[in-house]
Amino acid sequence: MEIIIEKSKDLPIQKSAIEIVERKGLGHPDTLCDRAAEELSIAFSQYYLKKFGRVLHHNIDKCLLVGGRSEVCFGGGEVTTPIQLIIVGRAVETVGNEKAPLETIARETTHKWLRERMRCLEPEKNVVVETKIRTGSVDLRATFDSSIPLANDTSIGVGFSPLTETESLVSLTEQFLNSPEVKQAYPMVGEDIKIMGIRIHDHINLTIAIAFISKFISSKEEYFKIKTKLLEYIQAFVKKLMTREVTITINAADNYDKNIYYLTVTGTSAECGDDGQVGRGNRANGLITPYRPMTLEATAGKNPITHTGKLYNLAANEISTEITKNPDFSEAECYLVSQIGKPITEPQLVHVKIHSSLAKKSAEKKCIDIIQKHLGQMPQLWADILERRYSLF
């Protein structure tokens, strides 16, 4: 295992002239795909534990959402063609004479979490769940049969810390808009929320897309009045977080004169306007950050025992975060690379880039201690993943 600690010469992101940060909320079609994959991985893991005493091999990390069709009007509307979720992956289906009811688990699991998270979506009526799940290959199933799990992929995990003001603002604003507090005050705010944040020097622009729910709005006049009040509500929230100047735009494509507005029956554009796919949304820290190190690896749906595409992204974020808890480190980036068939605790490369006031030797020792601690804990991560203690997207 190669461990390289390097003092970065790059300008810290918070001191750069430009930042671009995006977050897709819990009702966005891409996030729905991530959630479908991850909830199914958890459901399969829990079934295997209960039935066979251990988590068996599976990877349910491919999911496609085919948007439906709807007819929407102020005060109501209906979904005329249901949303289709096509879930694809590999999983152990038969052990001895026992056969796991994978399709039933997939359908019931998906409808259950959709009911819990999407207030105005009727899953059994509005969503068709289709599964294409097959048995995994022998070599990948074998990676489970080891005292220390063996990596079932050659993957990259990336993490960084701390979040900048812009990154925190984008994340917290989406979470606020999808909180019970906002849904109670503004029930017409749907779960499909996307925020694009741009910082140019000291000024931040937030462009917020919100799928408004039609049954709570009686007319276009009311729609635009609600938008104005909601804007003031968000501005008050943002003001508590920021000293910088922040400009906020809601549903930028709206046009009063041309009768253009973002109105949905269910609170998600998946009902008509958009499709979705696993891995196209937020990274493991819940953000899309093109000015930061990123991996295209999708964390959702990968098994929590051996798949380093999931585990290494979590560990890289944990390592970076713990390093920057020390005031001698102002910024950290962590890159982990696995090698298929090798123990998950032994990546072929660990590369950490830091901004630190410490001497090189002292900084290296502190970083290596933290790295080894988190690599050693990796075989136990699966239990916390099943308890949903990590945000994966």
pLDDT in tens, 31-52: 999 999 999 999 999 999 999 9
The mean per-residue pLDDT over the stretch 25-35 comes to 98
129, β-bridge pairs: 85
Q: Where are the alpha helices (DSSP H) in 208-331?
A: 220-241, 308-325
The mean per-residue pLDDT over the stretch 252-276 comes to 95
Superfamily of domain 2-20+153-163+280-386: S-adenosylmethionine synthetase, C-terminal domain (3.30.300.280)
Architecture of domain 189-274: 2-Layer Sandwich (3.30)
Sequence-separated (6 or more) residues with CB below 8 Å from residue 227 = 250, 251, 254
The fraction of the chain above a pLDDT of 90, given in percent, is 91
Contact 98, 244 (CB under 8 A): no
Q: What share of the chain is helix, strand, coil (3-state, %, to 5)?
A: 35, 30, 35
The mean per-residue pLDDT over the stretch 5-22 comes to 93
Residue 293: closest CA among 61, 24, 15, 13: 13
CA distances from 160 to 136, 295, 317 (A): 33, 12, 6
Q: Are strands 98-99 and 2-7 parallel, antiparallel or unpaired?
A: unpaired
pLDDT band at 135 (very low <50, low <70, confident <90, very high): confident
* CATH fold for the domain made of 29-142: GMP Synthetase; Chain A, domain 3 (3.30.300)
pLDDT band at 330 (very low <50, low <70, confident <90, very high): very high
d(CA 163, CA 180): 25
Instruction: Tell me: pLDDT of 374 over 80.
Output: yes
Q: Return the pLDDT at 279.
A: 95
pLDDT band at 96 (very low <50, low <70, confident <90, very high): confident
Identical fold, 2-20+153-163+280-386 and 189-274: yes
pLDDT band at 141 (very low <50, low <70, confident <90, very high): low
Instruction: Tell me: pLDDT of 105 over 60.
Output: yes
d(CA 367, CA 117): 39
Residues 307-326: pLDDT tens digits? Answer: 999 999 999 999 999 999 99
Residue 23: closest CA among 163, 160, 174, 162: 174
Instruction: Tell me: pLDDT of 207 over 80.
Output: yes
Parse the chain into domains and list their residue ranges. Answer: 2-20+153-163+280-386, 29-142, 189-274
Instruction: Tell me: pLDDT of 366 over 60.
Output: yes
Q: Return the pLDDT at 97.
A: 87
d(CA 132, CA 93): 12
What are the strands, taking DSSP E only, across the chain? Answer: 2-7, 18-24, 58-66, 69-73, 76-81, 83-91, 94-95, 98-99, 127-134, 156-161, 189-200, 203-213, 245-250, 263-264, 276-277, 329-337, 349-356
**How much is the mean pLDDT over the chain?**
95
Q: Return the pLDDT at 146.
A: 72
Q: Return the pLDDT at 137.
A: 63
**DSSP helix/strand/coil, 73:** strand
